[in-house]
Structure 1
């Protein structure tokens, strides 16, 4: 098994109004000696915005803003901006997040050239009801019953004056174009899906998503298969390009007798055909063990959302028990060597 070192709590809630209920699930990007962290900041009544801090090296918080960097402005995000991820493609930063209006949680995008000024581009995933999703995808096999269980919202069609839509979260871009085109992950429970071959973000039209869902099974990146992820899997950190393939740190969930347990997991995908899985760890990369991971707003959670590489050390930043931010590290080369022991035949 790969040796993982946990470095403890990197960031906790403060007394400031915008983050006095918790900080969690950060987007992370390294620039030189600095690590920029864009984290979910939670205020009372579970309203979320995006806070910012800068780390010197991988672990030392050097600067922390006393107000949100990004706050809800539009109806589609009126109840919160949650769980950001960030990559840089060419000369532009792409920050994705979950926009929550109090009823629906959907993947949205903002871009920036300087990590200070962001332009919100709105929701980029399909905005449809479960019934339409079910009709388009025609999921009739027994293994697909989970889609109904996780997404039909107890058959409620409207809540608080809003239509109840299919939740589509964990939108995460690959950090470069593949064959000259955008590629990103997203998650409709219980599996992780992939979008490839996008010339321009303007191509993500209603017609595009209609055709995409008509061929839904072809766009499933992978399904839960091991005990630690058997309930469902979801996106974690942006893919890391290595000589062995795209390293993807994701979250896997399984249920105990009393609760769900969220763990960090790892898999490897082909560099030029990212739909092709090369290998997957059959055990969690790391899981809740410390008291601050086991007890919090949501118990038993290690939710990875960002990474930074220093020399051969991979630092994984994660939300712990939905209240604070932790960091774990490991040898990147050793991790790749370990994953490749479990190739997919």
Structure 2
């Protein structure tokens, strides 16, 4: 049994307009004893920007900006820049985030040299509609794909939206590994209901032709699919993977479907260090779940949504969105977690 300590809320909505409704799902970058938090800030009308705060140690907030650090600049993100994750690779900071235009939610990228000034690079996930997606994934052997990969285009076909060329494939929870693997960027993303991996040497490789071939062989790129009760609905990458002697440690979220609605849990999995498309093990029960009032009641009830980590000695701190309203933190001993993962069949 892994001992998980809940430290509670460290950021809540404020009187500033840009974050008056909610603050949640922070991207985390640790620099020694300082933790930089790039959090989703939500204003009235459910419009999102990225706010900034930093800590001294794992949980003590010592600075919080009164204005958003990253705003909505482009049509593809006119409703929100959401749920950032951040890593540093070869001297450059890479922030992946969800760009939401009111209809479509897609993965986007911004880069920085100083954690203050970010240059947006645009959409980095497949820009295909569901009719195109249907054509591509039907090339895969159905026996190799969870039937849920066909759910949305079948649903849209039934309700007459399959011909809507502006309704694009939803691709969220885009997370980069914190270093290149065999000379290539490695990126996790979530085409519902599982987690997939993509490798590339240069960002300009992510062309329409690249994604067409990728989707036609989608079954070859899946690293995790729903398996246990607490992730039966769908799963998504949470925090950037952590490199350990046992493999890549991924903290992710799983969504349970219950008679009274969805419950978001946090869990953990371990992947091969040189071939992270290979799953070594995953927990068979949640790492932590919504148990506190501020996790069970909020903008969206019953949600813990991990998006970043910091390591202080052997204590792994996990930063997460609580009920889509607050930023909260838990901690655990990383060796205990790895030991538990190694015991899984």
Q: Please say whether Structure 1 and Structure 2 have the same fold, judged by a TM-score greater than 0.5.
A: yes
Choose which of 265, 268, 277 in structure 2 pairs with 1:266.
Answer: 268
- Decide whether the 8 Å contact of 2:131 with 2:162 is kept in 1: no
Distance in 2 (CA, whole Å) between partners of 1:191 and 1:278 is 17
* TM superposition score normalised by structure 1: 0.96
Choose which of 177, 181, 184 in structure 2 pairs with 1:178.
Answer: 181
CA deviation vs aligned residue, 1:262-286 (integer Å, no higher than 9, x gap):
0001000001000000110000000
- Decide whether the 8 Å contact of 1:245 with 1:271 is kept in 2: yes
Distance in 1 (CA, whole Å) between partners of 2:104 and 2:342 is 38
Distance in 2 (CA, whole Å) between partners of 1:95 and 1:16 is 24
1:21 aligns with 2:24: no
CA deviation vs aligned residue, 1:156-190 (integer Å, no higher than 9, x gap):
2577xx71111001110000000111000000110
Choose which of 237, 241, 245 in structure 2 pairs with 1:239.
Answer: 241
Distance in 2 (CA, whole Å) between partners of 1:171 and 1:102 is 19
Query: What is aligned with 1:199?
Result: 201
Query: What is aligned with 2:291?
Result: 289
Query: What is aligned with 1:277?
Result: 279
Distance in 1 (CA, whole Å) between partners of 2:163 and 2:334 is 47
Distance in 1 (CA, whole Å) between partners of 2:133 and 2:163 is 16
Choose which of 223, 229, 232 in structure 1 pairs with 2:231.
Answer: 229
Long gaps (5+) in structure 1? none
CA deviation vs aligned residue, 1:95-146 (integer Å, no higher than 9, x gap):
0000000110000000001000101000000010112112111154496331
Distance in 2 (CA, whole Å) between partners of 1:37 and 1:216 is 33
- Decide whether the 8 Å contact of 1:39 with 1:84 is kept in 2: yes
Query: What is aligned with 1:254?
Result: 256
Query: What is aligned with 1:131?
Result: 131
- Decide whether the 8 Å contact of 1:157 with 1:163 is kept in 2: no
Distance in 2 (CA, whole Å) between partners of 1:337 and 1:192 is 24
Query: What is aligned with 1:156?
Result: 161
Structure 2 matches for 1:18-167, cutoff 5 A? 18-138=18-138, 140-141=142-143, 144-150=146-152, 152-153=155-156, 154-157=159-162, 163-167=166-170
Choose which of 292, 297, 300 in structure 2 pairs with 1:298.
Answer: 300
- Decide whether the 8 Å contact of 1:175 with 1:238 is kept in 2: yes
Distance in 1 (CA, whole Å) between partners of 2:98 and 2:22 is 17
Query: What is aligned with 2:193?
Result: 190
Compared CA separation, residues 287 and 210, structure 1 to 2 (3 A): same
Query: What is aligned with 1:330?
Result: 332
Distance in 2 (CA, whole Å) between partners of 1:193 and 1:131 is 20
Cα offset for 1:69? 0.1
Cα offset for 1:148? 3.0
Aligned length: 340
